[in-house]
Amino acid sequence: MPMLIDPFALLGLPRRPMIDQDLLKKNLRSLVLQCHPDHRTGDTKMFEEIQEASNLLRSTPARLRNLAGEIRITKSIPRAAQELFESTNKALENAANLTNKYHGSTLALLKALLIKELLLARRKLINVQESLHHWHRSLEEELNAIDLRWPNVRSEELMLLSQSFLFAQRWDDQLREAVLKINLISPKNSS
């Protein structure tokens, strides 16, 4: 259900790319106490709108899309992330193949031999994660720069940055999951 109310106005925050998380928490707490359905003057509809607004503003990609005035998301990978996408995809695919081979084997010797390859795959995943975290830091710097130029920012810039944050978050989740799967196979060798 799309929001009809401006989430920034609802939570008493300025319409900017960056928000004060402490002020968001303070304003949210105040509004929730007033509107909670269990409160004598509670308003279920308003409570749900407040929760939706809070979720939107806490998410950097969603907040940027809201500021850009667009909800649709393109599936294209931002140019700056193309190389990172390739290394992420390659590392994830390799780890998945090795993990599946390990779980599909009934031979103890083959499983023992696969451990070394799995540990190498985990090292590659961690290296890609480090590159991803570096890219994420550059996205945060870009967000700061946009916030300083606000409101003289094009919608396209906000949408591209939003898309980049989404990819960074999705890839980080996938990499963490792949590392965890390898750690579950070989916990003694986890670092």
CATH of 79-189, one of 1.10.3470, 1.10.357, 1.20.58, 2.60.40: 1.20.58
Q: How many CA atoms lie within 13 A of 91 on its CB side?
A: 29
pLDDT in tens, 118-173: 999 999 999 999 999 999 999 999 999 999 999 999 998 999 999 999 999 999 99
pLDDT in tens, 85-107: 999 999 999 999 999 999 999 99
CATH of 7-58, one of 1.10.287.110, 3.30.70.260, 1.10.4160.10, 1.10.1760.20: 1.10.287.110
Instruction: Report pLDDT for 1.
Output: 43
Q: pTM for this one?
A: 0.83
Delimit the domains of the chain by residue range: 7-58, 79-189
Question: Residue 3: pLDDT above 60?
Answer: no
CA distance 35 to 69: 27
According to DSSP, residue 11 is labeled T
Whether 36 and 47 have beta carbons less than 8 Å apart is answered as yes
More confident residue, 180 or 42: 180
Instruction: Report pLDDT for 71.
Output: 53
How far is CA 30 from each of CA 8, 27, 62, rounded to the nearest angstrom?
15, 5, 23
pLDDT in tens, 30-62: 998 888 888 888 888 888 999 999 999 999 999
